[in-house]
Structure 1
């Protein structure tokens, strides 16, 4: 069980896989917080310190005991009016105006499954994945029940918290402050880490010491805001990416919030989060209840990296909903930076044609398609298609786009209204305004009062009428101003609940449509919106260099799968900076990926580069979406931004690096990787180089020397899982006898060289001398000339003649290589080996000292040939011609690697290898497993 109650001591213990959370209802009825941290056994009530603290008051229930003070004891849910003069989580005004609530423990329940919240998004889980603890506190005088809810996802190391306030009396009360979670620490020296910003520069990390007094951030803007994200970390002063204690609180809510961290007079720290208490006063009628949004908590004793991965897992698997969450999202191109408001139907169709030519999946028609909207001063609220502008109906335009083989998406901003609109002229009272005052304008638009049901229903009806006009597969939901003109204390909360009600109805009616949230970019980038929109436009700033910092801060709580990130045109429309298409692509791949540009303005070379980018992203998109994310550098402090995604089974990894500065006479730059299997070898797929996992993590990789400013690099690593199994079998087969020849053979580009290098390193690590002989050194001609000879033979004798040439003594010096193997077997230590380069006349011979060498590895396409003598163990690497071609192209092995002639050569080789494989001792299958013949 994840939740345990000790009835004797009235101690509640919550265990997750790696953490323990504990609290106690003490003898006086107060719920005290005991512990949250690494998983422990036993009870932690011994940590409570009782002393006479002078001016700290004592509750009446303590009698004459001056050592009992709620001003000094750690509490689970501190309330105003109990003698605690620190920051409080609860403030309730009674019907007669008194501000005091004294909640005492009353009861509890433990149930299977995760609680849900009426009208609010919440973490979800299957019944066998979660448990719920509900603790009821009561204040008999004000006739209020405080229901503390704890959702426990044991395997995910997640604890969620919410509070339900029930008015069991006969008169209305007013909730003036109701936070969702509080943590009290009796010891420790902490930093608060938050993510501040502004429009177009969101989620910059700021780390400050929690000193005596209060550290407080939040939003009064009606949304979670660009200025402060509702995710905060409390960490040891010494905590780093990989070490130290850190506690996260993430508010699953899209409106006003507050987070407070306070160090008190006794060096204790209180950390709490919930609804903002400014612009808030919520009446709760007799018999009614009020629910606070959920806080998602997690703890790590291994620094920020582990904390982040726990949040990423929670959001991806227990917050985001819908069919699109774990599927490959469409790669889209948005019309905004391509055309802004200046477009018509033909513009969108032309964009679709360009998208289809490049291989992009979807075109999104952004702002400007409705009402009379040709700029941002009119028509919000008039959700009627401007058919004159589109030269036809929306349905006709969608059909024209789909006819290009491209999907269609559309932009909407349902929460807004312009004064210059038919909707406003008909219903000016629907805008959020203070009676008798002129409203505050922002972007020349007003906020519709979504706290009112009739407003939401009319806008929903209009939006649905749009969505029913054709095959719309994506919505970009925007929100381009903050809330002002709050006419009552319930409005900010009820507005957000109205927004959620709208989204719930919309997603239920259109489950196949992917919705991307947006609020001037990242102004509402929160877990509440992610419950309905599984991706959110990260920032209106698409500058690649700025984005490395924005996406860095975002990554502390949010997975790449929710990050909307696109390649835009240069000079960048926000910063004027020019970066390469490659750099923009590398940065945008740390998200859902897409484009913000006009392809018609691109050169043929740029278009080809985009096609390559698309192929790269599609090859790695599942890894990027589902893999473990690691920050490899701090772009606010270091000269590079570096990050990586690692598959859950450590089988593959994608590393991305962007240089943030350029210097004369530069020195070498190394990036250390994380999350790999330290005991295995990894192949870097582009270069074909092999590294041990431990080496990559301890020493890192050396970046290429910089040529231009803001260069970017990607490294794709594949774990050579089959190499370890192959090595174990080879050790068995060669036994303890000396001087064995092992032949590794397979199609060109099948990975023979890589496998031989890994085996050599493993032999050497075990103290067994090992040397590699490359069979590619033994054709009669250097490879380039040999390809020319092959083509001449093909031209003269056709496929039959070419087949008779490939892999036979006409092509290969079998006599020479057989002599080498024979000399090795009889114990010669000085053997002359042939060496070949890639250019004309690059052929030489050198004496090689094989003293101490016990194993000779021969890696070669034809290493299973009937003409080859002296092989003790033969190993075939299975691959198709298509796979070998792809590897050759990726590694740039030949200029003509993709030609039809080379494909023919590979096909003929494959036929020969199929026969040779039947005689192999061991076969490494395409499934990565090793089979004995």
Structure 2
């Protein structure tokens, strides 16, 4: 594994992934292989230009690693620009290569522009992934204007038909899993909203389309990747006229120009990619390990049990009300108490106050410290909600700095949720936000920040910018990273939660600067199971904030609501002042149970056993890395006629070790001594042989059946004996 460089050819191997590039005799960099590892270096294809067919040019079918559209190639390009000299496009030729440990750098040059392009590949061997990044430096004398720079272009094996898997959605319905066959032409998925958006994630997973060759949860070939970016993005799945399948992913070129004066450089965000023959489950576990162990700001983070007061109080926030809620939360076993919107100056409704980040004196006459001290005295940590990127017109900040608002001169400034967007691409705005939140965090013992972002961009103008205003799409996100990064540096012990009206900005870029993300404002159990299944395609459960709320509480039992949320980073958001004594006691028991299984949920390997998209029943499990124990979550949601719950075949256990079910009276097992009918209500509650243990292989082959009725759920612990 690693990088092999030989005869102007470079092979990168990481886990089951192989990626190879080489030079033809004119110095064109050609991508020769992306897929499974082959036995020998000599097995990988040579770096050859494509054949000439009829009226097509040779570059048409040449797999340029950075597709330029050179010499008549008419497929999608990876890179494009124009210069003040009048020159357009790129013609790139090899200049140099360097291998340093797990990193390969390939330098290309465009003589006409005087531009230097550097492709950097890194092998992430522990996770079976490879990263790719691209930078462009203007080494010429004329200004260069980038109009497209994708982070990755991938040529899939020829002669196959492919299906694209991606995540779609909208507010309240995020992370919807979608499948689309490649068509002749281009499938385009994108965001133009300044965030990655509720409408999708910059991610692809490609499987073969032929019957029997597609990917399942634990089997089948997948080519997959995701972009390390939190702004506009574009994914193109291209099927060419000659039958080749190509995937492009990077910053969206919609309304995009980036100016490079002489000597300046622009770096596109990293793109991480891989290949597996273990289906979606193996892909997800690779992403999860990568995020938890390498990419996250705090390795192997264990999320606290959070209580958030938003749904209980809305804007009616004061010391007395929050203290009463904190008392209930502490008795329940909550570890982090978070006061949401409404605590700052002038914030009595959503039409005023955003931008003025100091405690409202009528609500908190002595500031937040007395409340923070009270929360800490009850054994919990203390957190607050903020929305730094937004400002209400009715605020001191707006009145003082109207020029800081993103807008088109001469056009009406559209409000969204009664708020405007600050242009955090500006260095002075960044400095202001860093200063004001640094003072907030320094003046009060705040342990947790929920950073929200509740509207999409409109009128994306920057009138005072001394370059092309369309740079705003990139500079805004770079500003976001700078603000968040500097606050993290100054306050390293603060835990940060990413929220954007739910899951509107969940991506690898945010995973690198936050401990957890709010997946959706939709907390209804049926919808939430679908959302959580989509979320965990890429992102680990430790990062997935999941609350128990009062939404349609009469329709869904409290046990069910807890069991759904306990499959992620557990939080509670109901109005505890209205919960009965029995409900509070039930909640206390669930919080205690969650703490017992939390190490498995946040650090174990996820196996999705029965998809919630398949019907009334769904199940998943987390298995310890050493396979010593596991926890099974099972749900039966849809009211229906009496039905036989399906067999659940456990996965991820050591085939040769023995495992026993513990702490559950809901299990019906198809082994010696078990109930032969498998129908609820007739169980002998047997769990295997005479000692109740079965081998890991038996659990996978024979499985178990659960005694669940409608709107019912359970958590089953499994331990090696």
- TM-score, normalised relative to structure 2: 0.92
Q: What residue is the counterpart of 2:659 in the other structure?
A: 682
Q: 1:47 to 1:135 in 2, by over 3 A?
A: closer
Q: What residue is the counterpart of 2:112 in the other structure?
A: 141
Q: What residue is the counterpart of 1:51 in the other structure?
A: 51
Deviations along 1:57-107, one digit per CA (max 9) or x if unpaired, are 2xxxxxxxxxxx121122211013432211111001122344211111111
User: Does structure 1 retain, via aligned residues, the 8 Å contact 2:655–2:695?
Assistant: yes
Partner secondary structure for residue 588 of structure 2: helix
Q: What residue is the counterpart of 2:641 in the other structure?
A: 664
How many pairs are equivalent?
681
> Equivalents in 2 of 1:398, 1:662: separation in Å?
44
Partner secondary structure for residue 389 of structure 1: coil
Q: 1:464 to 1:46 in 2, by over 3 A?
A: closer
User: Does structure 2 retain, via aligned residues, the 8 Å contact 1:387–1:394?
Assistant: no
Q: What residue is the counterpart of 1:107 in the other structure?
A: 96
Q: What residue is the counterpart of 1:42 in the other structure?
A: 41
Q: In the TM superposition, what are the counterparts of 1:532-611 in structure 2 within 5 Å?
A: 532-571=513-552, 578-611=555-588
User: Does structure 1 retain, via aligned residues, the 8 Å contact 2:202–2:507?
Assistant: yes
User: Of 478, 481, 490, which aligns to 1:500?
Assistant: 481
User: Of 421, 424, 446, which aligns to 1:450?
Assistant: 424
Give how far 1:669 is off.
2.2
Q: In the TM superposition, what are the counterparts of 1:774-793 in structure 2 within 5 Å?
A: none
Q: Aligned pair 1:460/2:434, yes or no?
A: yes
User: Of 410, 418, 422, which aligns to 2:384?
Assistant: 410
> Equivalents in 1 of 2:296, 2:234: separation in Å?
23
Q: In the TM superposition, what are the counterparts of 1:53-72 in structure 2 within 5 Å?
A: 53-57=53-57, 69-72=58-61
Partner secondary structure for residue 21 of structure 2: strand
User: Does structure 1 retain, via aligned residues, the 8 Å contact 2:288–2:539?
Assistant: yes
> Equivalents in 2 of 1:75, 1:282: separation in Å?
23
User: Of 648, 651, 656, which aligns to 2:625?
Assistant: 648
> Equivalents in 1 of 2:406, 2:288: separation in Å?
36
User: Of 161, 173, 198, which aligns to 2:170?
Assistant: 198
Deviations along 1:794-825, one digit per CA (max 9) or x if unpaired, are xxxxxxxxxxxxxxxxxxxxxxxxxxxxxxxx
Q: Aligned pair 1:26/2:24, yes or no?
A: yes
Give how far 1:627 is off.
0.5
Q: In the TM superposition, what are the counterparts of 1:357-506 in structure 2 within 5 Å?
A: 357-487=331-461, 488-506=469-487
Q: In the TM superposition, what are the counterparts of 1:853-932 in structure 2 within 5 Å?
A: none
Q: 1:425 to 1:370 in 2, by over 3 A?
A: same
User: Does structure 2 retain, via aligned residues, the 8 Å contact 1:685–1:718?
Assistant: yes
Deviations along 1:518-560, one digit per CA (max 9) or x if unpaired, are 0001000111011110201111111111100000011111110
Partner secondary structure for residue 60 of structure 2: coil
Partner secondary structure for residue 227 of structure 2: strand
User: Of 288, 298, 308, which aligns to 2:264?
Assistant: 288
Q: What residue is the counterpart of 1:150 in the other structure?
A: 121
CA root-mean-square deviation = 1.5
User: Of 511, 521, 525, which aligns to 2:506?
Assistant: 525
> Equivalents in 1 of 2:37, 2:132: separation in Å?
19
Give how far 1:705 is off.
4.3
> Equivalents in 1 of 2:155, 2:705: separation in Å?
45
Give how far 1:326 is off.
2.4
User: Does structure 1 retain, via aligned residues, the 8 Å contact 2:433–2:483?
Assistant: no
> Equivalents in 2 of 1:103, 1:239: separation in Å?
37
Q: What residue is the counterpart of 1:699 in the other structure?
A: 702
> Equivalents in 1 of 2:505, 2:168: separation in Å?
13
Q: What residue is the counterpart of 2:280 in the other structure?
A: 304
User: Of 174, 178, 185, which aligns to 1:213?
Assistant: 185
Q: What residue is the counterpart of 2:2 in the other structure?
A: 2
Partner secondary structure for residue 447 of structure 2: strand
Deviations along 1:825-866, one digit per CA (max 9) or x if unpaired, are xxxxxxxxxxxxxxxxxxxxxxxxxxxxxxxxxxxxxxxxxx
Partner secondary structure for residue 387 of structure 1: coil
Q: 1:668 to 1:541 in 2, by over 3 A?
A: closer
User: Does structure 2 retain, via aligned residues, the 8 Å contact 1:298–1:311?
Assistant: no
User: Does structure 1 retain, via aligned residues, the 8 Å contact 2:523–2:551?
Assistant: no
Give how far 1:51 is off.
3.1
User: Does structure 2 retain, via aligned residues, the 8 Å contact 1:371–1:382?
Assistant: yes
> Equivalents in 1 of 2:327, 2:645: separation in Å?
44
Give how far 1:49 is off.
7.5
> Equivalents in 1 of 2:179, 2:470: separation in Å?
32
User: Does structure 1 retain, via aligned residues, the 8 Å contact 2:50–2:59?
Assistant: no
> Equivalents in 2 of 1:3, 1:705: separation in Å?
52
Give how far 1:464 is off.
1.7
User: Does structure 2 retain, via aligned residues, the 8 Å contact 1:515–1:533?
Assistant: yes
Q: What residue is the counterpart of 1:164 in the other structure?
A: 135
Deviations along 1:704-760, one digit per CA (max 9) or x if unpaired, are 041xx321111110011xxxxxxxxxxxxxxxxxxxxxxxxxxxxxxxxxxxxxxxx
> Equivalents in 2 of 1:553, 1:368: separation in Å?
32
Partner secondary structure for residue 514 of structure 2: coil
Deviations along 1:163-219, one digit per CA (max 9) or x if unpaired, are 000100011100000000111124121111111011111010000101211011010
Give how far 1:391 is off.
4.2
User: Of 73, 86, 89, which aligns to 1:84?
Assistant: 73
User: Does structure 2 retain, via aligned residues, the 8 Å contact 1:222–1:484?
Assistant: no
Partner secondary structure for residue 396 of structure 1: helix
> Equivalents in 2 of 1:360, 1:154: separation in Å?
38
> Equivalents in 1 of 2:384, 2:448: separation in Å?
6
Q: 1:217 to 1:570 in 2, by over 3 A?
A: closer
User: Of 584, 588, 593, which aligns to 1:616?
Assistant: 593
> Equivalents in 1 of 2:120, 2:275: separation in Å?
18
> Equivalents in 1 of 2:116, 2:269: separation in Å?
17
What are the ranges of 5 or more consecutive residues in structure 2 without an aligned counterpart? 462-468, 665-686
Q: 1:51 to 1:338 in 2, by over 3 A?
A: same
Q: What residue is the counterpart of 1:767 in the other structure?
A: none
Partner secondary structure for residue 32 of structure 2: strand
Q: Aligned pair 1:271/2:252, yes or no?
A: no
Give how far 1:50 is off.
4.6
Greater shift after overlay, 269-278 or 601-610? 601-610
Q: Aligned pair 1:95/2:84, yes or no?
A: yes
> Equivalents in 2 of 1:184, 1:329: separation in Å?
39
> Equivalents in 2 of 1:338, 1:644: separation in Å?
32
Q: 1:405 to 1:242 in 2, by over 3 A?
A: closer
Partner secondary structure for residue 45 of structure 1: coil
What are the ranges of 5 or more consecutive residues in structure 1 without an aligned counterpart? 58-68, 113-130, 721-933
User: Does structure 1 retain, via aligned residues, the 8 Å contact 2:617–2:645?
Assistant: no
> Equivalents in 2 of 1:155, 1:559: separation in Å?
16
Give how far 1:46 is off.
4.8
